[in-house]
Structure 1
Amino acid sequence: MTPPLSLLHQDDHLVAVHKPAGLLVHRSQLARGEREFLLQRLRDQLGQRVYPVHRLDRPTSGVIVFALDPNTAASLQAAFAARRVEKRYLAVVRGIGPQQERLSYPLREEDGRRPKAEMPAMEAVTEIRRLDSVELPIQVDRYPQSRYSLIEARPQTGRRHQIRRHLSQRGYPIIGDAKHGKGNHNRFFAEHLECPRLLLAAVGLAFDHPASGRRLDLCCPLDACMTTLFERFGWSGHLPAPPRHHDRRSAMP
């Protein structure tokens, strides 16, 4: 039996949920052959209709918000489009990443329907900061030691695969990224560290509540895979705090 989704916040207007890694948010052209989607699972769990307002890539875990009525959905979609939503991600990358940097590499859309040459490059900005690092006495690549970093990423724009592509272009691909990463490091984490997934998690969202106007600051814990890895690497101090109220229903947050 599939366990229920973990609710991070719920009121009369919206609900925030912890999306598991590997689960598509809703039906799309990428969903051929898929039978399970986050939107349907959440709808069935709550017993009411929910409205998507933003997205997370299929392999990414973390916080995602759904509206509970069309007006709230429109307000939240406008907030995301106007970049009034603060987003915080944690990623495990290969190498010792920069202490702090603003990545500003224009990106073409990756929709698979048109040749890339026909797609205009659009502005894409990601603020990154290295929170911690580790060196393992194991040769995974050509060096006798292997180094990895914990990176905090705050995307200022919302391009598809933006964080993954920006970190890869900068030379610090995310572990578990089959498209933009390196296979030998991905296999090492899958086979020896029990992390066979993309190590990218959306751990925070902050925005003005569309009904009350009050600031809503959502924090999402990591899943078991990433939590165990953080503990193994000595990064426990960077684990996001679990929510104090998993299911809170009120008209105002």
Structure 2
Amino acid sequence: MTRLSVNINKFATLRNSRGGNNPDVLKAAVDAQLFGADGVTVHPRPDERHIRYSDVYAIKPIITTEFNIEGNSQEQKFVDLVLDVKPTQVTLVPDALNQITSNHGWDTIRHKAYLKDIVAVFQKAGIRVSLFVDPILAMVEGAAETGTDRIELYTEAYAHGYHQNREAAIAPYREAAIRARELGLGLNAGHDLDLRNLHYFALNIPGLDEVSIGHALICDALYLGYENAVQLYKRQLQLTP
């Protein structure tokens, strides 16, 4: 079954809005795993407006599942952090400085030489690498040429198109997934997946290894409770019609 990694950035955003340590980000990481998540994701940014670099160091020892660190490898501070912490996986995202949230995948053709070099840096340290890409066959093929272990399909377009025409919305993602598997790439997905659109996505994407979900899951947790929300998202990943 597809694994669920819970992105806990929003806990840090709420904590930082008032100072102090409420909610406790470390407890959020522990509880995500206790409640059934298969992994924990964090995305530290240079301004540390949510997850802080110190959080990443503190979280690593309490991970009993998988630890996924997302971020922009063009920031040397991020590279140093990942190499020091040695998570299970690093997901490389082409964020601009001060970007609110990730909104596009890598141009794996234009940046192939750079990506090939940085992928090798992390792999040499024993860290699995995933590249954030749009569902475009050329970008998937370009990713394979970098030597990356996995790609993460950027799913905002699917989420936005789901209610209008879900068959059309899923089509490019299914094609990208099939091509990724043909090329020997592992397959992750994330961004704007929620309780309404996740099951259909998982059901129609062959070989989906992992989804990373934060914002929607934490929003649902406000109404449903954190443990219940994690379990409901896990249920959506069960591959039955």
* TM-score between the two structures when normalised by the length of structure 2: 0.28
Q: Report which of the two has the higher share of helix.
A: 2
Q: Report which of the two has the higher share of strand.
A: 1
State the structure with more CA Rg.
Answer: 1
